[in-house]
Amino acid sequence: MNRADYADPSKFSKEQRAQLERMPINLTRMLLHCPAEMVKSFYDLAWSFRSGNLDPRIREMVILRMAALRCSQYELSHHIPAAKIAGLNDQEIAEITSPNPAGLDEKLTVMVRLTSDCANDGKVSDSTFESAAKIFSTAEIAEATLLAGFYEMLASFLATMRVGLDQHALNWSGVDRRSS
């Protein structure tokens, strides 16, 4: 059960309505307690990751790992389908979201460590960074770190406000059209 009611759409400004139309999910309904410009900026940043430096498989892996570490069913419910679209298979998803992932390829294993370091220590360890730097560019490491932090922030918001699961999964092709 939510700690707070969703923002009241009957009282929305034009800008707030535009944000709800942009992303009509429970997260937006709760975010709209914040100023519409802040919600717009939040989604602009979120969607910028969809066209960033990271391979979609790695991007979705980072999101799933953080969601699993933060027990965010909301994030998992939306990003497991996105992970499958990005090319992760059921076994990889099960490992990424398990307490002790094993049996993943080298790229996924290193990014699991990077994401876990961010969640557990608030930074990437020297040994993890060195391993990542052998496989990923500095731009990819920077983006993965920012992505992990973004989804940790989101998990905190979702848990604090107790945002309920949506009845329907996101249409990721629609999200990509709206984000461009």
Residue 115 lies in a domain: yes
DSSP 102-145: -S--HHHHHHHHHHHHHHHHSS--HHHHHHHHTTS-HHHHHHHH
Phi, psi of 179 (to 5 degrees): -85, -15
Are 77 and 153 contained in the same domain? yes
| In a shared domain, residues 61 and 94 | yes
| pLDDT value, residue 170 | 80
Number of compact structural domains in the chain:
2
Mean pLDDT computed over 156-179: 82
Clarify whether residues 81 and 39 are in a common domain.
Answer: no
User: Residue 135 burial (CB < 10 Å; 0-12/13-18/19+)?
Assistant: middle
Query: Containing domain of residue 103, as a range?
Result: 55-161
**Shared domain check, 64 and 133:** yes
Query: In terms of domains, do 89 and 134 share one?
Result: yes
Q: Please give the share of the chain, as a percent, with pLDDT higher than 70.
A: 94
**pTM check: above 0.75:** yes
- pLDDT one-digit tens code per residue, 63-121: 999 999 999 999 999 999 999 999 999 999 999 999 999 999 999 999 999 999 999 99
Q: What is the DSSP letter of 5?
A: P
Mean pLDDT over 153-170 rounds to 93
Residues 34 and 115 in one domain: no
102 and 40 within one domain? no
% of the chain residues with pLDDT over 90: 90
Whether 4 is covered by a domain: the verdict is no
Calculate the CA dihedral of residues 153, 156, 161, 163 and round it to 10 degrees.
80
Contact predicate 98/131, CB 8 Å:
no
CATH number at residue 128: 1.20.1290.10
